[in-house]
């Protein structure tokens, strides 16, 4: 009897513990526009404290998915749950901050006035406005009308607006769209700062190196389907290779092909490309293997594909 | 669900800084006040001098009918405010942002509707005050019984305004562009006229046509404020013929009020349903 209680207790504890971690859970979410299936039975979950990249080419369903979870687009099928069903979407929206597509504010009102309005809608006091404006570097332009803002400033104001209620989760849809490198860098620094404070972030983008630099986890969409979900590290580890050069290239290649460390080699003329048998194979392993057989290496480089190439590979 | 006051506050905040709306609002009230200038008009036709105020247009209780009808001509100023406060949210894409920030679609529509109620109310109160003052100055009869007779023109005025506002609000949601919404509104008033003409001349007679057309949205609203001109001579003569019926005017039937109230409800509800159905 006490054993049963212990088992049930532990089960419940784990369930509850896991429950508290899930800020958003999406199950089988689908959206059809007539015959076009924009989002196709999509499922994923977002856990507290991590930075997720929602990656996909244009038209892969990123914005539509975000639209659905934010109650702006009506779903065709499937469901999603905020804070593990503890809150309705309307209540959840008050605890998160989101920016979709372009920053949308009233052009005839100043930045501060726009933020004041958002505070009224979110039913919070306007006390945080000054701090957030400072965070995004717009304090000295806060009394200027929104229509006078450059694109970079508009994006920054949008981020400030999403942060007003100190949200537990931040959803950013292409926040660096249309910005020059300086603007992109600024936004990225702000995002990193926010992530460091423990805010969960979903960053939707088609910019791969952006996701690479900022996110821990990535969900890749293509044509409305999820084709990859995992950590950014996992994505990289999938397909390392090595490039190697030695005096006697033919002997080198033969030795490598015999090795259990190697699954495949490719002779590219002046170097040989090695596809390791598994992800744990290190350069040292290869080096030792070859030197044990008295084959001495001239150069050996471990290569990680740029996320770009990964991405293109996965999506074609 | 936010309270009435919260929603009104949000709407007022949005409009407060909108220069065009503020201008139209001020212009409306300034022009409304200038109804008083009609009092100063003296027409000279040959040897005949007519001082309008002396003609009794500002007599109680006729003044309630006359002033509300005249004030109605200025409604267009307010209509522009109404259409822009809905279509701007589409143009600036702030509707989407409001929803993402946590305003529900129901709260969004209600905040607009509550604002329209307040707008119509302000206009009505203003007309009441102006008319009261003008009446006290110019009316030949100022016993309290006469002053407060026929006050039903004021709720009629309020409902007509609110009716037009909600109709325009709905068109704003439907077409998302102010020019199209207003254009459609004008065309619609003409269409109602054409249908009435068909009913009257082609299909039925005047009585049936009137009975049917009073249910059309715009016609119903128009019926709340029938024109007062034909009553004018009677108002002038009231001093000579006390005891006679005032013109041939029987008041505004309750049914007219009811029809407009129902149309107001319909327009608010379909605005909400439209918003719900759409993918923004």
Q: What is the pLDDT of residues B257-269, one digit of tens each?
A: 999 999 999 999 9
DSSP A87: B
Give chain B's domain count: 1
Q: How confident is the model at residue B155 (pLDDT cuts 50, 70, 90)?
A: very high
> Is the Cβ of B90 closer than 8 Å to some Cβ of chain A?
no
Share of chain A above pLDDT 70, in %: 91
Query: Which residue is it, tokens 């971690």?
Result: A21
CA B214/CA B222 separation, integer angstroms: 9
Who among A104, A105, A121 is closest to B103 (CB)? A121
* Distance in angstroms between the alpha carbons of the first and the last residue of chain A: 56
- Alpha-carbon distances of B135 from A247, B57, B139, B185, rounded to whole Å: 112, 9, 5, 35
- Which of A117-121, B23-27, B145-149 shows the lowest mean pLDDT across its residues? B145-149
Mean pLDDT of B84-102: 93
Sign, CA dihedral A190-A196-A197-A200, equals: positive
What is the average pLDDT score of chain A? Answer: 86
The DSSP element (H or E) to which A255 belongs, if any, is helix A249-258
Residues of chain A in Cβ contact (below 8 Å) with chain B? 33, 67, 70-74, 90, 93-94, 98-102, 104-109, 113, 116-118, 120-123, 161
At residue B244, the pLDDT reads: 47
Query: Which residue is it, tokens 């969409």?
Result: A221
At residue B235, the pLDDT reads: 53
Enclosing domain of residue B101? 4-277
B209 to chain A, minimum CA–CA distance in Å? 43
At residue B246, the pLDDT reads: 47
B114 to chain A, minimum CA–CA distance in Å? 16
CB contact under 8 A, B98 and A121: yes
Tens of pLDDT, residues B97-151: 999 998 999 999 999 999 999 999 999 999 999 888 888 877 777 777 777 888 8
CB contact under 8 A, A106 and B103: no
pTM value is 0.81
A-chain residue closest to B5, CA distance:
A120
Q: How confident is the model at residue A14 (pLDDT cuts 50, 70, 90)?
A: low
Own/partner long-range contacts of A295-301 (Cβ < 8 Å, ≥24 apart): A295/A246, A295/A248, A295/A251, A295/A252, A295/A255, A296/A246, A296/A247, A297/A244, A297/A245, A297/A246, A298/A245, A298/A246, A298/A247, A299/A243, A299/A244, A299/A245, A299/A271, A300/A242, A300/A243, A300/A244, A300/A245, A301/A242, A301/A243, A301/A244
> Is the Cβ of B102 closer than 8 Å to some Cβ of chain A?
yes
Beta bridge partners of residue A241, listed in sequence order: A303
B-chain residue closest to A72, CA distance:
B280
When scoring A72, A102, A160, A172 by the number of chain B Cβ atoms within 10 A, the one with the most, hence best to mutate, is A72
A160 close to A133: Cβ distance less than 8 angstroms: yes
Q: Which residues of A touch B10 (CB under 8 A)?
A: 117, 120-121
Sign, CA dihedral A105-A109-A111-A115, equals: negative
Other C-beta atoms lying within 10 Å of the C-beta of residue A75: 21
Share of chain A above pLDDT 90, in %: 30
At residue A279, the pLDDT reads: 74
Tens of pLDDT, residues B34-75: 877 766 666 666 666 666 666 667 777 788 888 888 899 999
B221 close to B152: Cβ distance less than 8 angstroms: no
Tens of pLDDT, residues A28-76: 999 999 888 899 999 999 988 889 999 888 888 898 999 999 989 999 9
Among the listed residues B183, B187, B192, B255, the one whose alpha carbon sits nearest the alpha carbon of residue B218: B192
B65 to chain A, minimum CA–CA distance in Å? 40
Mean pLDDT of B144-171: 90
Interface of B with A in 238-277 (CB under 8 A): 276-277
Share of chain B above pLDDT 90, in %: 54
At residue B59, the pLDDT reads: 78
Mean pLDDT of A239-247: 83
A209 close to A181: Cβ distance less than 8 angstroms: no
Q: Which residues of A touch B275 (CB under 8 A)?
A: none
Residue A315 pLDDT exceeds 90: no
Q: Which residues of B touch A90 (CB under 8 A)?
A: 102, 104
As given in the structure block, the two tokens for residue B263 are 């149309």
A68 to chain B, minimum CA–CA distance in Å? 9
Are β-strands A169-173 and A241-246 bridged in parallel, bridged antiparallel, or unpaired? unpaired
- Alpha-carbon distances of B210 from B185, B196, B206, B214, B216, rounded to whole Å: 21, 8, 6, 6, 10
B101 to chain A, minimum CA–CA distance in Å? 6
């Amino acid at each position: 009897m006490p054993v049963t209680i212990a088992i049930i207790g532990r089960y419940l504890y784990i369930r509850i513990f896991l429950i508290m971690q899930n800020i958003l859970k999406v199950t089988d979410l689908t959206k059809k526009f007539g015959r076009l299936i924009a989002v196709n039975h999509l499922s994923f979950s977002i856990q507290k404290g991590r930075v997720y990249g929602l990656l996909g080419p244009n038209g892969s369903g990123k914005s539509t998915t975000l639209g659905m979870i934010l109650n702006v687009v009506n779903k065709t099928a499937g469901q999603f749950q905020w804070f593990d069903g503890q809150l309705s979407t309307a209540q959840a929206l008050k605890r998160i901050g989101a920016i979709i597509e372009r920053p949308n504010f009233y052009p005839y009102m100043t930045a501060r006035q726009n933020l004041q309005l958002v505070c009224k809608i979110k039913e919070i006091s306007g006390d945080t406005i000054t701090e957030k404006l400072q965070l995004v570097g717009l304090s000295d332009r806060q009394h200027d009308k929104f229509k006078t803002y450059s694109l970079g400033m508009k994006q920054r104001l949008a981020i400030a607006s999403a942060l007003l209620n100190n949200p537990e989760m931040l959803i950013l849809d292409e926040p660096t769209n249309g910005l020059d490198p300086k603007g992109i860098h600024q936004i990225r620094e702000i995002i990193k700062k926010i992530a460091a404070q423990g805010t969960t972030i979903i960053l939707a983008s088609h910019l791969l190196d952006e996701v690479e630099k900022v996110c821990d986890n990535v969900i890749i969409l293509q044509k409305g389907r999820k084709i990859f979900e995992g950590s950014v590290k996992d994505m990289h580890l999938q397909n390392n290779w090595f490039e190697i050069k030695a005096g006697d290239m033919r002997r080198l290649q033969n030795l490598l092909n015999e090795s259990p460390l190697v699954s495949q080699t490719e002779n590219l003329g002046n170097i040989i490309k090695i596809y390791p048998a598994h992800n744990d194979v290190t350069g040292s392993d290869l080096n030792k293997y070859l030197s044990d057989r008295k084959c001495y290496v001239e150069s050996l480089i471990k290569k990680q594909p740029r996320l770009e190439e990964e991405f293109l590979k996965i999506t074609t | 669900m936010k309270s009435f006051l919260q929603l009104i506050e949000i709407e007022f905040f949005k409009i407060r800084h909108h220069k065009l709306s503020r201008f139209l609002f001020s212009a409306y009230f300034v022009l409304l006040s200038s109804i008083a200038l009609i009092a100063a008009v003296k027409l000279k036709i040959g040897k005949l001098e007519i001082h309008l105020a002396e003609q009794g247009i500002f007599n109680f209780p006729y003044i309630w009918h006359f002033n509300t009808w005249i004030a109605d001509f200025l409604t267009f100023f307010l209509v522009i405010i109404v259409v822009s406060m809905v279509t701007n949210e589409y143009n600036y894409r702030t509707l989407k942002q409001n929803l993402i920030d946590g305003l529900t679609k129901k709260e969004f529509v209600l905040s607009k509707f509550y604002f329209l109620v307040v707008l119509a109310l302000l206009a009505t109160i203003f007309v009441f005050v102006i008319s009261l003052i003008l009446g006290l100055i110019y009316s030949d009869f100022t016993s309290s019984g006469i002053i407060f007779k026929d006050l039903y023109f004021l709720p009629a005025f309020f409902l007509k305004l609110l009716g037009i506002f909600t109709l325009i609000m709905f068109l704003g949601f439907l077409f998302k562009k102010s020019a199209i919404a207003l254009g459609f509104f004008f065309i619609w008033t003409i269409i109602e006229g054409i249908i009435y003409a068909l009913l009257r001349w082609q299909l039925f007679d005047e009585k049936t046509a009137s009975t049917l057309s009073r249910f059309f949205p715009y016609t119903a609203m128009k019926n709340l404020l029938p024109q007062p001109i034909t009553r004018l001579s009677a108002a002038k003569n009231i001093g000579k013929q006390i005891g006679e019926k005032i013109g041939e005017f029987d008041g505004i039937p309750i049914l007219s009020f009811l029809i407009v109230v129902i149309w107001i409800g319909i327009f608010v509800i379909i605005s909400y349903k439209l918003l719900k159905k759409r993918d923004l």
